[in-house]
Amino acid sequence: MYVVTVVFEISAGSEEAFRNAVQRQAENSLALEESCRRFDVCFDPTRPDRVFLYEIYDDRAAFDAHLASDHFAAFDSKVADMVASKTVETWLLS
């Protein structure tokens, strides 16, 4: 299994709009991508400007397909101005 973690730092004033968009993205990924096994969106109530994603895919090819999907492109475009920074890490689940 291929694990992806993402930490977003959200621009001030964009927290609620980003939260709505990323929740929708998680729902779309799980519904539309057969090889997306998990897509958790995590929030810290004491730091509303940070969002953590935990995603699991069958393999790297499945994650690449996710990145190439129309729903990911729409999400990425929609939130581009809301994101101050983004850190992506990948892992192998044994």
Kindly indicate the confidence band of residue 94, based on its pLDDT and cuts at 50, 70 and 90.
Answer: confident
**Alpha helices, DSSP H, located in the chain:** 15-32, 60-68, 70-79
Tell me the percentage of the chain whose pLDDT exceeds 90: 97
Looking at per-residue pLDDT, the higher value among 28 and 94 belongs to 28
> Cα separation of 26 and 59, whole Å?
18
Q: Tens digit of pLDDT for each residue in 16-55?
A: 999 999 999 999 999 999 999 999 999 999 999 999 999 9
Can you give the pLDDT at residue 41?
A: 98
Q: What is the pLDDT of residue 74?
A: 97
Give the Cα separation of 41 and 8 in Å (integer): 11
Q: Which domains does the chain have, with CATH numbers?
A: 2-92 (3.30.70.100)
Confidence category of residue 61, pLDDT binned at 50, 70, 90:
very high
